[in-house]
Structure 1
Amino acid sequence: MAIGQERVLTEIEKHARQARSGDSAKMRESVAAIRALCDLLLESDEQQPAAPAPRAIPLSASPAPQPVLSEKKLVEDGANGDSLFEF
C-alpha cells in the first residue's frame, strides 16, 4: 500500500509545528520524524514500481505442518549416553 505524498507532507507540517512549540527533547523527536518522512518521500520518488506490489499469501494457503515422527531412541554400540554431542 503506497502512502500518498500529500499525507507525508501533512505529517511533516504537523511535526514542524510540534518542533516549534515543544522543548528541546520534543524538538529533537519531531526533527527525527521529519527526517524519516523526507527519506520516505525521496525513496518513493526514486523507486516508481514498474510492476504491481506483491500480494500477501492468504493464511489458508499455508502448507500443512509436518507430522511429528515418533521419538524412538537409536541404540548404537559404543555410545555412552543421550547427549547430542555423542558421535
Structure 2
Amino acid sequence: MISYNRVFEEMERQITNAKHADNPSDMREALAAIRSLTEVALGGNNENHDKMVTKQIATPQAQPVQSLSSLEAAPLEEDGANGSSLFDF
C-alpha cells in the first residue's frame, strides 16, 4: 500500500501544476490527478470512474461498409423535374 505521505506529496505537486497551468486543459488534468489520488488514498472505488475507464478501454466495433457510394449511384429521375441541376425548378 502507498503511504499517505507519498500521496500527499503527489497531491501537492499536482496542486502546484494546476495553479501554474497555462491553459484550462492542463488545469483539468492536474485536478483529475488529484481526484484519482484521493480515491487511492481512501481505497474506494468510484463507480462512474470505473465505468468511464471500461468504456475507454473497450474495443471499437467495425462499422459495415456500404458497397455502393453515392457517386456511383444512378441519379434519381422524377416526372416533374426540369433538369439535372439543383437550381432547375
Pick the TM interval, shorter chain: 0.3 to 0.5
Query: TM-score, normalised to structure 1's length?
Result: 0.47
